[in-house]
A and B are shown apart, each in its own frame.
Chain A
Amino acid sequence: MNWIVRNLWLVPVLPVLAAGISALAKRKSRVLAASLAIGSMSLSFLLSVWAFAHVLALRNSGQPSLQVFNFRWFQFGNEWLSLGWMLDPLTAVMLVMVTFVGLLIFIYSVGYMEHDDNFMRFFCFLALFAGAMLGVIISNNLLLLFMCWEIVGLTSYLLIGFWFSNPKAAAAGKKAFIVTRIGDVLFFLGIVWLYAQSGTLLFYDNGAGFLEHSAISHLLTQTTTTGICVATGIALLIFCGAVGKSGQFPLHVWLPDAMEGPTPVSALIHAATMVAAGVFLVARVYPLMSAHTGLADVITTSTALQAVTWVGSFTALFGAVIAVAQYDIKRILAYSTVSQLGYMMMGLGVGGVSVGMFHLITHAFFKSLLFLGAGSVIHGCSGEQDIRKMGGLGKLMPVTFVTYAIGMLALCGFPLFFSGFWSKDEILHAAHTWNISQAPFYMGAFAALLTAFYMSRQVFYVFAGTSRLAEEHHDHAHAADTSSHHGSGSPHESPAVMTVPLMILSAFALLLGFLGTPAWPWFQSFLEDAPVSVNFGAFLTGGMLPVMLSSSVIVLLGLTLGWWFFGRKPIESADAPDNFGKLSPSIFTALGNALYFDAIYGATFVKLTTLLSRISDWLDRWVWNGAVQTVTYTVLGFAHLDNFLDTNVVNSGFDEGCDTVSRSGKLLSMLQAGRIQGYLKIVAGALVVFTIFLLWKAKI
């Protein structure tokens, strides 16, 4: 257990520390914030590289590449909840990728956010985000992962809603957080269920972790009352978390709206890291996912993985279809991210961890490249995001154009040189060899076609043709306070601090592909701990070649179509209808509105919740309160009745009684008139009566 593994926790904590310091710092100085963020990021990058080297060294020396460090967090009942972090090839790769891309984006955003007055707060959130993301990557405990996962969600909320004065941004932030929260809740249930079943949340705890064989086998044996195997149930719930975070089909609505945030944010979060977290999570718990009751030798994909595949492939197709009809430069990229994530999920589902992860790494680079490129375009066009208002920027911003083109070609998977081709090809190959059904392969292929088509559409719109920006100098203010306008009206090349990261990223977009070519599958073997050997023959074996050929044909077809519709005669004016849209305007507008999913959700779920809330409020006010009111009114009624009885019946009766008594009193007092003779008469009378009585009695 050498130093790096023990102190791996420094990687996420450094950025978080930087974020904390910059938040608490009294003086609002831009230099401090930027330097802190970038400094901490670079430190983390170095540590990650060290960790990567350490893993390589372990692999070469044949030792198991997995190292774990656990510590006890708190005790409840007789057991301790212990957390921990781990270092394995997957972690190492992800660490390097995230820190490197993050660093580049930090540098880029220094330039991009130069004029923004909330500069410090931006970098503080970015650093916090990076810390949380790194936390997710290294955590060895599903709960720790979940905690960092939630903080990532929080930071994405804060960053999306960074320009909070813009109500759309605030709403987008809220939407993002809530939709991801839906996924997280299901993920949380999965965690709780897992904890209940396996008794531990640690991935690897030298034998006791739930990803290890004993726990997995135990989970397999359990079946819930509804008949599905517990392992699949938990896996599906965890996958829901991934769906939420990675914007898969049902929970994808927040990703396009997240573009309201500043472009570096979109680049960092919605291209490279955060969305990738979902895929990373599936990769991390792959053993659980792929656990199936079938025999060990026959590779039968578990129901969980099948679900992943289907959702992935459908999202890929779905994202691509919508991306075609988008006008906002960043929305197109957002939908393309959605489809690429679908590809990754499909890759994981059919090909296993290495296939998915390879595409994830390559995608991270060229997608962040594209986003930063779009950022510099927007920066150049003084905040304009609608591609119909751009055009002809190729000549005005050559570096951006070139890097952007490289990124676009990598994304489409232009044959041979671009990394996208290799990683996508791996997935298509795996999908092709999938024994369940070929549908994912065809959906993947068609999505690849559409990807090529809409990317070319976007490039031609932005860079080709004449610049439509001149017509409307003062387009509607992008945001009241974003002061990214330059003095001069015409678009111009972004400063070096923005273009240099673009170049670096474009270089990677090109070279990275060669790591994972079928010939020399270093990357895959690195992840699967298998020995690697150069074997050019691999191209021919296993049906790799036909898949490669078919994919390159599809890409070329897509590009020509794009050129055909948009390259030939780019639209003249901003409000001219889209050439492709002219074919079928109704479908085009539908696709423009993302198949109205927002409206559907709004109509269904949101309406349902508001309705339910109104019902419960009504229930509260009227039903429960009503019951209490009725009780009080009945009591009041009794009180009045009693009062009535009291005054009329009892009182008057009593008064009568009193009168009669006083009257008789007066009568009696007459006797006491004070005249002595009167008394004497009475005595005499009494005497008479008495004697008569005695005599009468004596007589009888």
Chain B
Amino acid sequence: MTISFFIIAAITIVGTAAAMSLKNLVHCVLSLTLGLVGLALLFLLLGAQFVGFTQILVYVGAVAILAVFAIMMTRSAEPMTNLPPASFRLSGVLIAATVFAVLAWAISSATRSLPSQSSQPEVSVNQIGVALMHQFVLPLEVIGVLLTAALVGAAILAMDETGASR
């Protein structure tokens, strides 16, 4: 387990934890972006270059900005006035903790049976392209359709009524 894994993991956890707990929404989004960049680094660490860069391009580039725009548009950028009651937050955290405990227990009891070490698989963009076009051509098409439908839908939803009425 390399040092870099731990550093990046720490960055990601801090980012995500901050994203979930900060009061100011913009800070949350920014810390989220940090967390996601950390995640992208993890992908790179795991050797999936293409996925890492896609992750950065999609999440950091688009989703974060989208979130920020959403925050701007819904005027929730002001500092949070009233936090949800303690009991509500406590129960949420408690449940999350139990879920984590169970998953951890599951992982710890399961991974013993998997082979611990394997060589760094070399993957090139070319191979991904070929795989996309051959094995996964159907999902590609479906994703294409899905994305167009989603974006058109999002546009219509977000469009201002008065604009649509003309």
Residues of chain A whose beta carbon lies under 8 Å from any beta carbon of chain B: 677, 681, 684-685, 687-688, 691-692, 695, 699
Contact = CB atoms under 8 A, between A and B. Distances in A.
A688 B106 contact: no
B92 A695 contact: no
Given A677-B92, A681-B91, A681-B92, A695 B106 contact: yes
Contacts of A685: 95
14 contacts: A677-B88, A681-B92, A684-B96, A684-B98, A684-B99, A687-B99, A687-B102, A688-B98, A691-B102, A691-B103, A691-B106, A692-B102, A695-B105, A699-B109
A692 B109 CA distance: 12
A681 B89 CA distance: 11
Contacts of B92: 677, 681
A315 to B, nearest CB: 128
B83 to A, nearest CB: 14
A695 B99 contact: no
Given A685-B95, A688-B102, 14 more contacts: A677-B88, A681-B92, A684-B95, A684-B96, A684-B98, A684-B99, A687-B99, A688-B99, A691-B102, A691-B103, A691-B106, A692-B102, A695-B106, A699-B109
Contacts of B98: 684, 688
Interface string B50-66: 00000000000000000
Interface string B81-107: 000000010011001101100110110
Contacts of A681: 91-92, 95
A691 B91 CA distance: 20
A642 B95 CA distance: 58
Contacts of A688: 95, 98-99, 102
A670 to B, nearest CB: 16
A681 B105 CA distance: 20
A498 to B, nearest CB: 133
The size bracket of the interface on B is 10 to 19
A133 to B, nearest CB: 123
A583 B163 CA distance: 149
A684 B95 CA distance: 7
Contacts of B106: 691, 695
Interface in B119-152: none
A695 B91 CA distance: 25
A596 B103 CA distance: 129
A692 B91 CA distance: 20
Contacts of A695: 105-106, 109
B26 to A, nearest CB: 23
Nearest to A692: B102
A688 B36 CA distance: 26
A549 B96 CA distance: 158
Nearest to A681: B95
Contacts of A699: 109
Give the 8 A-B CB pairs with smallest separation, nearest first: A684-B95, A688-B102, A691-B102, A681-B95, A684-B99, A688-B98, A691-B106, A688-B99
Contacts of B109: 695, 699
- Looking at B88, B91, B95, B99, the one whose CB has the most chain A CB atoms below 10 A away is B95
Contacts of B102: 687-688, 691-692
A685 B97 CA distance: 11
B103 to A, nearest CB: 7
Nearest to B103: A691
A621 to B, nearest CB: 86
A684 B98 CA distance: 9
Contacts of B99: 684, 687-688
A639 B91 CA distance: 62
A282 to B, nearest CB: 128
Contacts of B88: 677
A571 to B, nearest CB: 139
A681 B88 CA distance: 11
Contacts of B96: 684
B92 to A, nearest CB: 7
A684 B101 CA distance: 12
Nearest to A690: B102
Nearest to A675: B88
- Looking at B88, B92, B102, the one whose CB has the most chain A CB atoms below 10 A away is B102
